[in-house]
Structure 1
Amino acid sequence: MSLALSTLIYEWRRYLAAVIALAVAGLLVLAMTGMFMGMALSFTATVDKSPAQIMILPPQAEGLFGDSGQPRRMIPMVYEHPGVAEVQPMIMNWAMWSNFPKDGQPAKGDGVRVVVDPVKGAVTLPSDFSDATIEALKEPFAVILDRTSLGKLGVQVGDKAKMNGRTVTVAGVVDGYPNMFNTQVFTSYQTAKLIYVADDGPRVGPLLVKLKDPTRAKQVAAELNVLGAGQFKAWTREELSKSSQMGMMKEGGIAIMIGFMALVGVFIGIVITWQTLQGAILANIKEFASLRALGVSMGELRLIIIELSFWVGVAGLILTVILVSGVAMLAKVGGVPMDFPLFLDIPVAIMLMVIAILSGLFSLGILKKSQPADLLR
């Protein structure tokens, strides 16, 4: 075991503040990005959990956000590929929602409707819907909500509400579809027509494509793009989900907020870690003076400090993982979606290690006080 690591283990109380500072810096950035990534993931949950392996969007689309629809005539074109088993449009039209207030309860209005085909295995039916949920959707004017949306829409299971002026019944709830932007209300095609949201016009939303051989998703997507000749773009489910998340990160306001939190985290991490390391090194200054008296060069002592700051960074990363896991568990209990993709986690981990190393470099000046002559006083 190296001297730096053994020092951190046996003198952990002196370095605890630095470890906590790094962990808080990481938590600030990851909690903010995790929340926004969770929002994007909740928006794509219906597609992510679809039996479809490929999604068809307009050629200029970079994700589900801002999808302006495409011509219905694309459906038979997609069917021309021999590997395609089923193609259906995902209907996501707006509907005006209002509850029936009771006992002084305020009136609440919101909602975006998502139409599904309540037949087990249908390409537009999320794969995690239970048999009871599917049967409930078959009833005329029945709707299904995510459990976290009940309070937002002011209803409970069995309550009635209005969508576009027609009375609907909350027939059940599902889990895993929270949406902090627009509440998702699941209905069948039959109910969608009854509440005037089914659109049989010339334009449709994203096309969900089910393949005969799901293992060929990437190959078929590439072949469909060639077949479409620029009229549409085929995505695998995983590619579309990741691109939608990346697209959300490009939004100006979100990028500014995350950038601000990153700057705050870096400032807190560097200042507190630097000051803590300086204090800890100063407290052990006689030990460093003893090493110099034994012939250890100043360069070797500096390397010890840099290694010590490295191990402080590693400990900070471990504590960050623990804190972020706790926040994620609390968020799950509260119905707040969070996601931590690797393309964000890795830069944050690198950032924390850089903060730790920089703090060590800033603390090297304190070694000038490690004079062997001071041991004689």
Structure 2
Amino acid sequence: MSLALSTILYEWRRYFGAVIALAVAGLLVLAMTGMFMGMARSFTATIEHSPAQIMILPPQADGIMGDTGQARRIIPQIYQHPDVVEVQPMVMNWAFWSNFPKDGQPSKGDGVRVVVVDPVKGAVTLPLDFSDDTVEALKEPFAVVIDRTSLGKLGVKVGDKAKMNGMTVTVAGVVDGYPNMFNTQVFTSYQTAKLIYVYNEGPKVGPLLVKLRDPTRAKQVAAELNVIGGGTFKAWTREQLSKSSQIGMLKEGGIAVILGFMAFVGVFIGIVITWQTLQGAIMANIKEFASLRALGVSMGSLRMIIMELSIWVGVAGLLLTGGLVAGVAALAKMGGVPMDFPLFVDIPVAIGLMIIAILSGMFSLGVLKKSQPADLLR
């Protein structure tokens, strides 16, 4: 075991402040990013759980949130590819929801996003995680299904009646994995969607869901469909669209400013507090460093010990950050707040925390100048 690691383990209380500072900096950035990523993930959950391997969007769209609709007449073009089995539009619309309050229950009204599915197993519009009971429930006229975490927000429970666009509907079941802290998603069948006036077969459609004979050829078929389209649409694989939608949400002006500010504050707090704490801990051990110099250990070797100390502080900070983020995510899940931590966010944050720890160690090297062997005689 190295001297630096044994020092960290034996005198962990002196270095714990630096570890806490790093963990708080990481938590600040990851919690904010995770919340916004969770919001984006809640919009793409229906796509990620779809049996479709390819999604068709307008050529200018860079994600599901940027879809402004496209002409229905492009559907026959997509069928020109021999690997395409089924093409259906993903129908999403808006409706006003209101509950029927019972004794002592508050009246709740809200705008909801209606997602229309075909309640037939294997249908390209039906999410893969819908159970047989859920599919059967959706076949009933005026039946709707919502995420379990949205029951309290909408003021209903399974079996209750509610109103959508003035029409009475029944909450026939619940699903898991589709939480949304802003726009609650309500699933209906095509039949029910027509009855509550949220679906019509107009000339424009939303994203197109494409099912393939061989799902393993999704990337190749998407590229070939883009050639067939000649710029009239853009084909995405399910994974590409999900990732692009999440990144696109991060690029939104207000969100980018907020996350940038949080990152700046986190880095500032991390560097200053970690540096000061690490420097104080080294000062407390200055006699030990002076003893090492008296034994002939070079200044370069002592600097390497300091740098290794800072690296171990960074590693401990990463572990504590992981634990804190897991705790926050668990609390958020209990409260129905969607959070997501994709690797393209986690990895840069982890690298950033290690850089903060290393920089703090570099800033603390000046303390070694006070480790004079002569001071041991005082």
TM-score by length of 2: 0.97
User: For 1:80 and 1:228, how far apart are their aligned partners in 2?
Assistant: 10
Q: Deviations over 1:136-155 (max 9, x none)?
A: 00000000011111122121
Q: More deviation in 99-108 or 240-249?
A: 99-108
Displacement of 1:108:
1.6
Is the 8 Å Cα contact of residues 108 and 152 (structure 1) preserved in structure 2?
Answer: no
Is the 8 Å Cα contact of residues 99 and 109 (structure 1) preserved in structure 2?
Answer: no
User: For 1:98 and 1:70, how far apart are their aligned partners in 2?
Assistant: 31
User: For 1:311 and 1:168, how far apart are their aligned partners in 2?
Assistant: 58
Aligned to 2:327: 326
User: For 2:12 and 2:95, how far apart are their aligned partners in 1?
Assistant: 58
Is the 8 Å Cα contact of residues 116 and 187 (structure 1) preserved in structure 2?
Answer: yes
User: For 1:175 and 1:132, how far apart are their aligned partners in 2?
Assistant: 14
Displacement of 1:127:
0.4
Aligned to 1:289: 290
Q: More deviation in 90-99 or 204-213?
A: 90-99
Is the 8 Å Cα contact of residues 72 and 203 (structure 1) preserved in structure 2?
Answer: yes
Aligned to 2:253: 252
Displacement of 1:330:
2.0
Displacement of 1:106:
2.6
Q: Which residue identity is paired with 2:7?
A: T
User: For 1:277 and 1:109, how far apart are their aligned partners in 2?
Assistant: 51
Aligned to 1:94: 94
Aligned pairs for 1:71-90 within 5 A: 71-90=71-90
Displacement of 1:102:
2.8
User: For 1:297 and 1:363, how far apart are their aligned partners in 2?
Assistant: 17
Displacement of 1:36:
0.8
Is the 8 Å Cα contact of residues 180 and 336 (structure 2) preserved in structure 1?
Answer: no
Is the 8 Å Cα contact of residues 110 and 153 (structure 1) preserved in structure 2?
Answer: no
Q: Deviations over 1:169-203 (max 9, x none)?
A: 11111110011231111000000111111120100
Aligned pairs for 1:234-273 within 5 A: 234-273=235-274
Aligned pairs for 1:114-193 within 5 A: 114-193=115-194
Aligned to 2:41: 41
Local SS of the residue matching 1:96? strand
Aligned to 1:372: 373
Local SS of the residue matching 2:95? coil
Is the 8 Å Cα contact of residues 108 and 153 (structure 1) preserved in structure 2?
Answer: yes
User: For 1:217 and 1:187, how far apart are their aligned partners in 2?
Assistant: 28
Is the 8 Å Cα contact of residues 96 and 164 (structure 2) preserved in structure 1?
Answer: yes
Local SS of the residue matching 2:261? helix
Displacement of 1:353:
0.8
Displacement of 1:103:
2.7
User: For 1:279 and 1:91, how far apart are their aligned partners in 2?
Assistant: 61
Displacement of 1:209:
0.3
Q: Which residue identity is paired with 1:268?
A: I
Q: Which residue identity is paired with 1:144?
A: V
Whether 1:219 and 2:246 are equivalent positions in the alignment is no
User: For 1:349 and 1:67, how far apart are their aligned partners in 2?
Assistant: 33
Displacement of 1:336:
1.6
Displacement of 1:107:
3.2
Q: Deviations over 1:21-62 (max 9, x none)?
A: 111111111111111111111110011100000000001000
Local SS of the residue matching 1:95? strand
Local SS of the residue matching 2:92? coil
User: For 2:98 and 2:127, how far apart are their aligned partners in 1?
Assistant: 25
Q: Deviations over 1:96-137 (max 9, x none)?
A: 222222335133222111100000110000000011100100
User: For 1:64 and 1:133, how far apart are their aligned partners in 2?
Assistant: 25
Q: Which residue identity is paired with 1:211?
A: L
Is the 8 Å Cα contact of residues 98 and 107 (structure 2) preserved in structure 1?
Answer: no
User: For 1:258 and 1:44, how far apart are their aligned partners in 2?
Assistant: 21
Displacement of 1:66:
2.5
User: For 1:365 and 1:125, how far apart are their aligned partners in 2?
Assistant: 64
Is the 8 Å Cα contact of residues 94 and 111 (structure 2) preserved in structure 1?
Answer: no
Local SS of the residue matching 2:280? helix
Count residues in correspondence: 377
Q: Which residue identity is paired with 2:371?
A: S
User: For 1:262 and 1:369, how far apart are their aligned partners in 2?
Assistant: 34
Q: More deviation in 218-227 or 358-367?
A: 358-367
Q: Which residue identity is paired with 1:124?
A: T
Aligned pairs for 1:94-113 within 5 A: 94-104=94-104, 105-113=106-114
Q: Deviations over 1:190-243 (max 9, x none)?
A: 001111111201000100000011111001100000000000000000000000
Aligned to 1:56: 56
Is the 8 Å Cα contact of residues 274 and 360 (structure 1) preserved in structure 2?
Answer: yes
Displacement of 1:297:
2.1
User: For 2:113 and 2:239, how far apart are their aligned partners in 1?
Assistant: 24
User: For 2:95 and 2:332, how far apart are their aligned partners in 1?
Assistant: 28
Structure 1, gaps ≥5 residues long: none
What is the percentage of aligned positions where both structures have the same residue? 82
Q: More deviation in 201-210 or 100-109?
A: 100-109
Aligned Cα RMSD in Å? 1.1
Q: Which residue identity is paired with 1:31?
A: A
Whether 1:16 and 2:54 are equivalent positions in the alignment is no
Q: Which residue identity is paired with 2:331?
A: L
